[in-house]
Amino acid sequence: MDNLVQTWQNVLELIKADIMPVSFSTWIETIVPVEKTVDKIVLEVPYEYSKQMIETKYAELIKNALIYLKQKDYELDVIV
């Protein structure tokens, strides 16, 4: 069984170098991976504004990291 927490840690390691440290701690480290299905990963953030930032600025970077790690294009669902 694929471990979502471990997958998320691997994603963080991959994208950390591409994001300014303050942005990483503000937007990315606050994300909690909640669920993984066959084609979707659900990520939880603390605020609506965080959701907007992830969806508009960081979703593509996260998706690309997942493609690299899992050879699969997951849909991201960001919830508050």
Instruction: Summarize pLDDT for 26-80 with one digit per residue, the tens.
Output: 999 999 999 999 999 999 999 999 999 999 999 999 999 999 999 999 999 999 9
Q: Which residue has the tokens 């694929």?
A: 2
Q: Which residues pair with 75 in a beta bridge?
A: 40
Instruction: Say what the pLDDT of residue 76 is.
Output: 97
Contact 35, 61 (CB under 8 A): no
Query: What is the C-alpha to C-alpha distance for residues 55 and 69, in angstroms, rounded to an integer?
Result: 20
Q: At what angle do helices 59-70 and 4-15 cross, to 10 degrees?
A: 120
- Looking at the chain, the number of H-run helices and the number of E-run strands are 4, 3
Considering the entire predicted model, what is its pTM? 0.92
Give the residues across from 32 on adjacent strands.
44
